[in-house]
Each structure stands twice: as structure tokens, then as C-alpha cells.
Amino acid sequence: MSKRGYHHGNLRQALVEATLSLIEEKGPQGFTLSEAAKAVDVTPAAVYRHFSGREELIAEVARQGYEIFTALMDFAYDNGKPSALAAFEATGRAYLAFARKYPGHYQAMFESGIPITSNPDLAMIAARATAVLEEAARALSANIPPEKRPPPAMFAAHIWAMSHGVVELFTRGNPGARSPFAAEDLLEAGIGIYLRGLGLLPQDR
Amino acid sequence: MSKRGYHHGNLRQALVEATLSLIEEKGPQGFTLSEAAKAVDVTPAAVYRHFSGREELIAEVARQGYEIFTALMDFAYDNGKPSALAAFEATGRAYLAFARKYPGHYQAMFESGIPITSNPDLAMIAARATAVLEEAARALSANIPPEKRPPPAMFAAHIWAMSHGVVELFTRGNPGARSPFAAEDLLEAGIGIYLRGLGLLPQDR
DNA sequence: TGTACATCAGTGAACGCGCGTTCACTGATGTAC
DNA sequence: TGTACATCAGTGAACGCGCGTTCACTGATGTAC
């Protein structure tokens, strides 16, 4: 690519981006530290100036993924505007959009097998991400008739689980991928039915 | 372990079982063909008598997993007894129970990244598994008021997605694992709310 | 029951390879004066 | 503006290792007669 001198300039971030591409191509377990080094035209030993090893590279990709993810969800939620319900549905769509648009980050975050607890920074930003989801659920939950109001954390978990399941099964050529439905439609319909079950949508629309 | 002669006796299945253990320990990408061979006290070259390589080993674990999975779902569904609804809920519970009881198979089936199309046997048994799910959905769908009856394949997909999401996120110490809810309760509640949204459960129970 | 022979499953040695990790090093950069 | 020096980022050679895959082989098993 571009010629460079002895010093790279921004090797750390360049490595992160190479890792990202490698994950997109071959999955989080499908590449080696040496490949990442080669991708940015650097000796494997140079990687150790910035990361303790392959795991930490992936963890950094995941961290940056959570950063984007949180911002995106926050933006979609938009402080509950125009309504708690509409904002909530927007976060559902945003989840799927994130998985589609940032598949490498998504895999590093949710499919790499690296524990969020392996890194304090990672744990913190991951917690912030779930906080956004739960805040959306909490706001919405005010509209639910109290006698059938589940804990907000619970229905945040439901929506998260369904979204994640749709991504894993009906995206990227996986087991159910030959489904006749687009993942987006599937998720939208599923969330709609679920919210109706909570009494948040009219029964017979 | 047990001493054996020059011939192993049932090397093929022994290798499959070793692979299963290795997947449970280190994930579908976390072991080598040589490790599998070593686990059954055999030369790596011997593996090639039975499998074309590591991929095919995992595919066979997945195939056997689908076999068990289908049987389990079929048993749980029990031809729609005692009622379409109860039978449907039983399959939901059976899904999670399968994931818990056969984690190695589950990973080979859903997390290994080997395409179901890589092997005709595998593709066939996987199709049979989804057929069971869709049959359960179809039977249940007869009870749904026609004006809001989604295609059975769609709501089979919804239930599958939510179940899978719960397994991935709230089982085995993954990202959302510090959830305050047991996966079983979470899934049961989620399916309940969903079915209420379909008009299959009373609104105010 | 015995023996000759075909079949088959696993051996073990060999190959070339890329891996992770370490180390003393060196070239580039920045800063103090 | 110039120079001396400290700091730092990346080099390249080296290590021991386990990998996948091949090959001619051999020991065990089964069967025909």
C-alpha cells in the first residue's frame, strides 16, 4: 500500500482494523496473530509492543464494537422520542442493523468466546450497552398494566434474545438461513407480536 | 485406559465421541485433528481411514446432534397432546433442555460454522428437525384468529430465534450471563408473552 | 480343524510449514540546551 | 538553528513445537476350501 518508514505511525489501530477484516473473513478463531501482523506489513514481534497476544486484539475489536453499538442504540432510542413504544422498536431495528453493518465487531462481541470480564474496559462498556437497552425497557414498562408488568430487565432480555437469535439463525447463511423471510421482517413481526402480548399494542390491529 | 490390539474395534465412533468432548472443552475451533486422534490413542493418520479431515468429524457430531435433537423435539411434541398449546410449549422447553444436556452437539450444530449443506446427510436430518418445529406451529396456528394468523413457518422461526438467543446469551457464561433470571424462566415467560400476543393465551391471566 | 490368502485398519517415519514468543539490535523521533 | 542524547517502535534471527498429510508398511481378521 502506502510506503512507510521504520515507524508505522499508528500500528495499534492498524492492527485492530486488520483483525476486524480477518474476523469478517474467517471468524474470530480462524486467523493467527502472525496473519494480523502480515496484513499490516509488520513483523509478528511488533504486535507485542501493543497487545499481549491474539486474545487482546480481539478484545479490543469487541471493545470498539461495544462503543459503536452503544452509540447506535442510544441514537436510535433518542431519549424515548417520539414515544416510548416507537423508540423501543427503533432500538430493535438498530440491533439488527448493527449486526449487518458491523459483522466483524458483532462476532468479536458475541461469538468470539472471549469473556467480557477478561478486560475491565470491555466489561464497563458492555455494561453501558445493556444499560441503554434496559432504560428503553424501563420507560416502556410504565405503559404496561401493572398486574402483568414483568421486570423491565426481563423483557429487555427477551427482546435482546429474539434479536440475537434472528441474527444468528437467519443471517449470514446459517442453519435456518433458507428461511422464506427476511431477517428484518421476521424480527419486526416478532417484536410486534411480543409487544401485543404485553398489552402495549392493540390486539386487533 | 483399556488395552487393545492393533485394531481398535470401533474407531470411527470413538473419534466422534472424542471430538464431542473436545468441543465441550474448547469449542468447535479450539482443537486439532491430532488432538482428537491422541484422545483415542491412535495415530493421526488413522483418522483418515474414517474421515476426510477435522471438518467432517465435526459434521458427524452435528449430524448425530440433529438426530438426538429431532427425536427429543418429536417426543416433547407428542403429536400435539394433550393440546396443541401445551405441546408447543413443551417443545420450547425441550429446546433449552437439549442445549443444556448436549452442549457439544449443540455447538457443533449451531456454532461451529460448518455449513449444513456441506454434507447431504446433515442437510437431510436438519431439514427433518425444522419440519418438527413447523408442524408444531402449524397445528397451533389453527387456533389463531385468522385475521392475525402469521404463517406458521414464521412463528416457528420466532420461537426458535428466542430460544436460541436465550441459550447463546444467558447460558454458559456469555455476555448477558449475569442476568438475574434463570434461562428456563426467561424463556418460559418470553414464550408466554409471545403466545398471548398471538391471542393464544388469555390477556389477563 | 487347518491352512492359505485377501482384505482391511492402523502404524510410524517423513515432509515442509507456519506458529508463538524471546531477544539483542537498530533506526527514527522528539526534546533539552 | 544545531547538536547530543534518551526514548521508543519495529526488526530479524532464532528456538522449539505441533500441525496436516502422504506413504509404504505390517499386523490382525475373516473366509474359502
Please say whether the beta carbons of B31 and B15 come within 8 A: no
List CB contacts (< 8 A) between A170 and chain B. 157, 161
pLDDT band at A2 (very low <50, low <70, confident <90, very high): very low
**Tens-digit pLDDT profile for residues A48-67:** 999 999 999 999 999 999 99
Cα–Cα dist B11/B7, whole Å: 9
Average pLDDT value for residue range A131-137:
93
pTM: 0.93
For A88-101, what is each residue's pLDDT tens digit?
999 999 999 999 99
Contact between B175 and A109 using a beta-carbon 8 Å cutoff:
yes
A96 CA → C1 C1’, Å:
75
Digit-coded pLDDT (tens) for A170-184:
998 776 666 789 999
Report the candidate in B34, B69, B27, B70 with the shortest Cα–Cα distance to residue B54: B34
Q: Do A179 and B157 touch (CB under 8 A)?
A: yes
Whether the predicted pLDDT of A203 surpasses 80: no
pLDDT attached to residue A23? 97
The rounded Cα A152 to chain-centroid distance in angstroms is 20
Residue B88: per-residue pLDDT: 93
Residue of A124, A194, A195, A200 for testing the chain B interface, max B β-carbons within 10 Å: A194
Please report, in tens digits, the pLDDT of each residue of chain B (205 residues total).
334 667 778 999 999 999 999 999 999 999 999 999 999 999 999 999 999 999 999 999 999 999 999 999 999 999 999 999 999 999 999 999 999 999 999 999 999 989 898 889 999 999 999 999 999 999 999 988 887 789 999 999 999 999 999 999 999 876 666 678 999 999 999 999 999 999 888 765 4
B54 Cβ nearer than 7 Å to chain D strand:
yes
The answer to whether A16 touches A64, Cβ cutoff 8 Å, is yes
Chain D nucleotides covered by protein, CB below 7 Å: 9-13, 18-24, 27-29
B174 Cα to chain A: minimum distance (Å): 7
Size of interface A-B (CB pairs under 8 A): 149
| Cα–Cα separations (whole angstroms), residue B187 to A45, A100, A146, B22 | 47, 25, 21, 28
Look at residue B177 in the predicted model and tell me its pLDDT: 63
* pLDDT (0 to 100) of residue A3: 43
Phi-psi map region of B144: left, alpha, beta (phi>0 left; psi -120 to 50 alpha): beta
Optimal mutation site among B69, B106, B124, B168, interface A, most CBs of chain A within 10 A: B168
- pLDDT at residue A180, rounded to an integer: 83
d(CA A20, nearest CA chain B) in Å: 18
The angle, 0 to 180 degrees and rounded to 10, between the axes of the packed helices A84-101 and A103-110 is 100
Bigger pLDDT: B1 vs A26: A26
User: What's residue B4's pLDDT?
Assistant: 60
Q: Quick check: helix, strand or coil at residue B182? A: coil
Task: Mark which residues 56-95 of A lie under 8 Å from B by CB.
Answer: none
CB-proximal positions of chain C, under 7 Å: 9-13, 18-24, 27-29
In angstroms, what separates the C-alpha of A170 from chain B's closest C-alpha? 9
